[in-house]
Amino acid sequence: MKRLAIVLLLLGTAPLAAQAPPAVTLDDLKTPPSPAFVLMGIAPTSVERPTTPRALGLALLDSVEGNNGNSALPQDLAVELAPYWLSPRPDLTFDQYDRPGFWQGLRQSLSVSLATKGDDGTAATTSSTAPTGTLLGAGARASWMLGKRSQLANDVLAAYRAKVTKMLIDAGPPQPGQPASAGLPADYQDQLRPFATSIVESLKQGRWIVEMAAATTERFPGNDTSHSEVEKTAAWITPSYRFLRSTFDPKTGKLTQVPTVDFIAVGRYIHDRTATDDRDGIDVGGRLLWESTFFSLSAEYVQRFNIAEPTHRLTGMVEYKISDNLYLSGTFGKDFDDPTTEQGNLQALLGLNLNLGAKPQVLGPALQ
């Protein structure tokens, strides 16, 4: 029996695919930016992002002091940091940063996420078997950019350097006691900012980026640090390629606003001990995504292995930006089979999402 479900979520923040039945509901193909938070369902807006060792120390201290001596575990900690960038890197040139070797690429892109979620007591009231105690999550993510810079990126860099060189020559040699900006045009920031945007975007086009992430969560029953149980473990690998489509105007420093086309492949493994069955799903698939300023279209195929009855999902997705925080989204196609229900797996979901924060990437739900 097939199911046709049309859901209209007015001004809701709930993810659309949360309506879908699969036991493992990790629906965003992209590697999560903060894998530990994804596993734990922590909102990214509440995350501390220290950029110095001192700031990291203060964040940890705050979380320990916040538990009022009730537990040896820090409570409600959510920290994400990039260890390589906690220290100054005055010798790292742009070329070394943009074209690193494999290990250097991993070092400079590595980010670590760490979080704890205190027991708020709701689990005990909703189910006598629900786990209690502090939940600890840890994750890591890194990426590696493959291939040489595109001609587009080289053109943008050459134009930027020509622009800067002319500005500096016009300013003349530095004089004693003058500030570094002396002689530069009053609007030099406005003149150069478009080049920064264009450099960042052009470096992504025409290249493969391989992103890898892993995370695990552990429950500490009774907040006893001597005993813990692993709840979820997950690993992702997502090679992606953004097709080279923009052109560049060296006078303005801007890239043409053309729709981007991305291909994203995915491999992911999720071990979920809180699930009653199919605890070790492996997903392999890919997505082709076309995206303009207001409109995006994508098609996705994902095969799920290593469960009792292997299944696949084949869906098309559409998203239209109504305003900066309001998106109309639709998903159509066949979802994963769900052996726990008699219902079919035809997907036809339509929703209106209010997003307070970053733009969703067509589908943005987290693993619940």
Please state the closest distance from residue 243 (CB atom) to another protein, in A. Answer: 21
Please state the closest distance from residue 189 (CB atom) to another protein, in A. Answer: 6
Residues 19, 20, 23, 29: is their CA dihedral positive or negative?
negative
Please state the closest distance from residue 155 (CB atom) to another protein, in A. Answer: 14
Closest to another protein by CB, 121 vs 176, is 176
Separation between Cα atoms, residue 82 and residue 90, nearest integer Å: 16
Count the Cβ atoms, other than its own, within 10 Å of residue 32. 24
Give the DSSP H/E element, type plus range, for residue 279: none
Separation between Cα atoms, residue 267 and residue 279, nearest integer Å: 16
Please state the closest distance from residue 254 (CB atom) to another protein, in A. Answer: 13
Closest to another protein by CB, 93 vs 343, is 93
* Helix-strand-coil split of the chain, %, nearest 5: 25, 35, 40
Closest to another protein by CB, 86 vs 297, is 86
DSSP 35: H
Separation between Cα atoms, residue 330 and residue 7, nearest integer Å: 10
- Contact string (CB under 8 A) for another protein, positions 287-326, x = contact: ----------------------------------------
Out of 51, 247, 252, 368, the only residue in the binding site for another protein (CB under 8 A) is 51
Closest to another protein by CB, 171 vs 288, is 171
Please state the closest distance from residue 179 (CB atom) to another protein, in A. Answer: 7
Picking from 232, 260, 243, the residue whose alpha carbon sits closest to that of residue 366 is 232
Closest to another protein by CB, 199 vs 363, is 199
The one-letter code for the residue type at 201 is E
Q: Are 362 and 22 in contact (CB under 8 A)?
A: no
Q: Which of residues 63-92 bind another protein (CB under 8 A)?
A: 82, 84-85, 88-92
Please state the closest distance from residue 135 (CB atom) to another protein, in A. Answer: 29
- Contact string (CB under 8 A) for another protein, positions 184-203, x = contact: x---xx--xx-xxx-xx---
Q: Which of residues 242-271 bind another protein (CB under 8 A)?
A: none
Closest to another protein by CB, 49 vs 334, is 49
The phi and psi torsions of 46 (rounded to 5 degrees) equal -100, 15
Please state the closest distance from residue 45 (CB atom) to another protein, in A. Answer: 18
- Helix intervals (H) in the chain: 35-40, 53-65, 94-98, 102-109, 122-126, 151-171, 188-204
Please state the closest distance from residue 92 (CB atom) to another protein, in A. Answer: 5
Q: Are 311 and 304 in contact (CB under 8 A)?
A: yes
Residues 276, 280, 285, 289: is their CA dihedral positive or negative?
positive
Count the Cβ atoms, other than its own, within 10 Å of residue 12. 13
Token digits for 201? 């975007």
The phi and psi torsions of 196 (rounded to 5 degrees) equal -60, -45
Q: Are 344 and 5 in contact (CB under 8 A)?
A: no
Closest to another protein by CB, 104 vs 223, is 104
The phi and psi torsions of 210 (rounded to 5 degrees) equal -105, 115
Please state the closest distance from residue 207 (CB atom) to another protein, in A. Answer: 15
Closest to another protein by CB, 164 vs 348, is 164
Closest to another protein by CB, 114 vs 142, is 142
Q: Which of residues 142-181 bind another protein (CB under 8 A)?
A: 157, 160-161, 164-165, 167-169, 171-176, 178-181
Residues of this chain that interact with another protein (CB under 8 A) are 51, 82, 84-85, 88-94, 96-98, 108-109, 157, 160-161, 164-165, 167-169, 171-176, 178-182, 184, 188-189, 192-193, 195-197, 199-200
